[in-house]
Amino acid sequence: MTEQSGQGPALDNLLTESRTFPPSDEFAAAANARPELYREADADREGFWAKQAERLHWDTKWDQVLDWSDAPFAKWFVGGKLNVAYNCVDRHVESGHGDQVAIHWEGEPGDTRTITYSDLRAEVCRTANALLELGMNTGDRVAIYMPMVPEAIFAMLACARLGLTHSVVFGGFSAEALRSRIDDAQARLVITTDGQYRRGNPAALKPAVDEAVAQTPSIEHVLVVKRTSTDVEWTDGRDIWWHDLVDKQSDQHTPEAFDAEHPLYILYTSGTTGRPKGILHTSGGYLTQASYTHFNVFDLKPDTDVYWCTADIGWVTGHSYIVYGPLSNRVTQVVYEGTPNTPHEGRHWEIVQKYKVSIYYTAPTLIRTFMKWGADIPEKFDLSSLRVLGSVGEPINPEAWIWYRENIGASRTPIVDTWWQTETGAIMISPLPGVTSAKPGSAQRALPGVSAKVVDDQGNEVPHGGGGYLVLDKPWPSMLRGIWGDNDRYRETYWSRFAAQGYYFAGDGAKYDNDGDIWLLGRVDDVMNVSGHRISTTEVESALVSHPTVAEAAVVGATDPTTGQGIVAFVILRGGAVDGGAEAVKALRDHVAKEIGPIAKPRQVMVVPELPKTRSGKIMRRLLRDVAENRSIGDVTTLADSSVMELISDGLKKGT
Ligand code: WTA
C-alpha cells in the first residue's frame, strides 16, 4: 500500500456553490419520479425493491427479496427466474411495440441503421443460435472486444439470452489488457470486428485479438464482424466471419429462464493494485435496479423520448445505460459509433437535432471539452428537443454544470449528476428530475431504496457540513456479487475498511453540505480518474517498469482542466541517467499505451534522479503531485531523505 493519494480534481469552487434550481411545475407534474418514493422506500426497503422488480417479467416469482445471511455475498430475489434478454427485447414485441425503433445507429462515417424491436429480436435470436452452433453452454464466458456497432449489443443480449456470461473489454484497450482479461475469465469465445472507425479513419482491431489469443488457450473461436473491410490475418478453423455464421441462422429462438443470481457479466475495472478486478454482476437484482433508475433518474417516457447515452459499451455506463436499463424500459435510443469531433466539433449537436434527442447523458470531461470548443458550436443547432441532461463518471464542477444547463439545456432542463461505480451496477446517488431542487456540483441524495453515508475514519457518520469517506450502509439489488475468482480480494477491497459496521467502502471522498446533501470529492485511493476512466497508478507504474530502460516509476493523477486528472509519471532510468531526452520519453509513453491502451498514456513523463519515500519505503505521491501541479512542496518531514525533493525540482528546472 502507498499513502493515500488524496482527492481528485480540484473542485475549487465546488464547496462555495450555493445556487439551486428547483424543477418547473410543468416538469414536476408529469415526472415519473414522485417525492413519496423516498418515504415508501424508507418505510419498507425490501418491499420497495420487490415492487420495482415487478417492472420486469419473471417466469418464476422469488420467495425471498434479499438473503444477506452470507454477507457480503448478497442474493436478491431468491428463487426467482427470468430471462434478461426477453425482458429487454421480446416482451416489447409481444406487447405490440415491434415497430418501435429501439436503436437509431449512427456510424462515424455517416452510415446509419434503424433497428426496431422486431429487428432487434430477430438479430438477437440469430446471434444466439450462432453461439449455440459454436457449442457454447450456459455459464461459459464470452469476451466481447468491439467498437460501438449494433452487433456489440446483439452479442451482449445473445449471451444474456443463453445464460452465457459476457466480459466486454473496451476496444481501446491493448492486446495485453485483452489477454489478461480473457485469461482471468477463461473465456471460450471472443467476438470482435476487423477494424473500427476512429477520427475519420479505419483502424485495425483484429490484430490485437490475434496477439492476445496466441496466448490464451481457453479461446476456441474468434467471431469477426466486418466493419471497415480492413485486411486481416485469418486462422482457419478458429476465426469465423459473423456474416457467414450469424446471417444464415433462424430468427426464432425460445428463451430459457435463469435463476435471478445467474451470472450476467464480468466487467474488469482498475483497483489499487496492478491487476484489474473482474466485477461480477448477476441477473434479477441487476436488471431491476438498472431499469428502475433509468426510468426515474432520466424520466424516460418510452412512447415519446429519444434517449442518448454517449458512453462506450466497454464501460459499465454502456452496460447499464445503453443496453440493460434503457432496453428493459422500451427506449428509443441513439447509438453513435465515433468521436465527438468527427468530422466536426458539432457532431453531437447535429445528432441531437437529427434524431430530436430528448435525454442526453454524458461525462464532465466531454462537457469541459465542449466548453473549450466554444458555445457558438451548439448554438448553430436546434437543441430544443432536449428535456433532461445527465452527467456521470467524475465530479462535475459547478462551472461546467452551469455551462451545460445554459448552453445545451437552454437554461431550462434539469441536470442529473449521477454517482455510481462499476461495482454498484446502477445509479446510487442522484437528483430526481421533477422532484429535487438541483445544486450544481452535487449528486445530492441516495435514490429511494439506496442508502449512503459520509463517515469519518472510525466509521461514524459526520455531521452536516463535515467531510469523510463515502460508504453504502445497506445492500442494494445491483450490487456486485464479488470479484471473479477472488472472494478474499472482494472482502478485502470493499468490506474490510469498515468491517465493524458492515459498510461498503466506495473509495470516494465526500462531504455533506448544511442541508445534508452529498458532494463527491474524488477518489481517496490510488485510482486516477482520467476523462471519467478509472486507471490505477500501480497499473501504469508496472507498465513503465516493464520497459527495459526504467529502474523505478511513480505515477500520480494531477489536476487537469479538461480530463479531470492527467497521468504524470516520474521515472528513474537505469544507470541513473537524468536526461531522458524527448525520444526516450516518447518511447515510454508509447510503451504504456501498448501495455494498457492509449487512455493510460501519461500526459507527462519526468525523468528524476530519486523518488520521495518514507522511512518505510512508501512513495509519497502527495509530494509528487505538488510537483506535477506546480505547487510549492508540502511537508517533507516524513521523508527518509529530505533533500530528495530539491534534487527532483532542481533536475526538472534544468530539464525544462
Ligand atoms: C467516480 C462509472 C463524482 C467516482 C459509473 C467513482 C463520480 C468512480 C461520479 C466509478 C459522479 C462516478 N460524481 N464522481 N457523478 N460518477 N464517479 O467504475 O470516483 O468507471 O468511484 O463507474 O467514478 O467509476 P466507474
The alpha carbon of residue 437 and the mean position of all alpha carbons in its chain are separated, in whole angstroms, by 26
- Distance (angstroms) between ligand 1 centre and the Cα of 508 equals 8
Instruction: Give yes or no for residue 66 CB within 6 A of ligand 1.
Output: no
CA dist., res. 448 & res. 293, Å (int):
10
Instruction: Give yes or no for residue 405 CB within 6 A of ligand 1.
Output: no
| Nearest CA-CA partner of 226 in 197, 249, 250 | 197
Among the atoms of ligand 1, which is closest to the Cα of residue 533? 20
**What's the pLDDT tens digit per position in 535-591?**
989 889 989 988 999 988 999 999 999 999 999 999 999 887 766 688 889 999 999
Is the separation of the CB atoms in 357 and 351 below 8 Å? Answer: yes
Q: State residue 134 phi and psi, 5-degree precision.
A: -80, 0
| Nearest CA-CA partner of 127 in 149, 151, 92 | 151
The DSSP line for 226-259 is -SS-------TTTEEEHHHHTTTS-S------EE
Q: What is the pTM of this model?
A: 0.92
CA dist., res. 423 & res. 207, Å (int):
31
CA dist., res. 198 & res. 614, Å (int):
44
Q: Produce one character per residue of 286-309: b if its CB has 16 or more CB atoms within 10 Å, e if not.
A: bbbbbbbbbbbbbbbbeeebbbbb
Mutate to test the pocket of ligand 1, among 5, 322, 392 (most ligand atoms within 8 A of CB): 392
- Distance (angstroms) between ligand 1 centre and the Cα of 420 equals 5
CA-nearest residue, atom 8 of ligand 1: 421
**What's the pLDDT tens digit per position in 147-185?**
999 999 999 999 999 999 999 999 999 999 999 999 999
Among the atoms of ligand 1, which is closest to the Cα of residue 429? 15
**Cell numbers given for 598:** 492509449
Predicted ipTM of the assembly: 1.00
**Torsion angle, alpha carbons of 474, 475, 476, 477, to 10:** -160
Instruction: Give yes or no for residue 328 CB within 6 A of ligand 1.
Output: no
The rounded percent of the chain whose pLDDT value lies above 70 is 96
Instruction: Give yes or no for residue 525 CB within 6 A of ligand 1.
Output: no
Instruction: Give yes or no for residue 418 CB within 6 A of ligand 1.
Output: yes
Residue 107: which pLDDT band, with cuts at 50, 70 and 90?
very high
Among the atoms of ligand 1, which is closest to the Cα of residue 527? 19
Among the atoms of ligand 1, which is closest to the Cα of residue 507? 21
CA-nearest residue, atom 12 of ligand 1: 393
Contacts of residue 61, Cβ cutoff 8 Å, sequence gap at least 6: 79, 80
In the block, cell 462515424 appears at 108
Q: What mean pLDDT value characterizes the chain?
A: 93
Residue 525: is its pLDDT beyond 90? no
CA-nearest residue, atom 15 of ligand 1: 419
CA dist., res. 511 & res. 522, Å (int):
11
Q: What is the DSSP letter of 74?
A: -
**What's the pLDDT tens digit per position in 8-56?**
334 445 666 789 999 999 999 999 999 999 999 999 999 999 999 999 9
Q: In the prediction, which pLDDT does 15 show?
A: 60
Instruction: Give yes or no for residue 443 CB within 6 A of ligand 1.
Output: yes
Mutate to test the pocket of ligand 1, among 366, 534, 535, 565 (most ligand atoms within 8 A of CB): 534
Instruction: Give yes or no for residue 534 CB within 6 A of ligand 1.
Output: yes
Residue 638: which pLDDT band, with cuts at 50, 70 and 90?
confident
Alpha-carbon torsion 407, 412, 413, 417, what sign?
Answer: positive
Q: In the prediction, which pLDDT does 8 show?
A: 38
| Nearest CA-CA partner of 415 in 346, 361, 334 | 361
H or E element, residue 193? strand 189-193
CA-nearest residue, atom 14 of ligand 1: 394
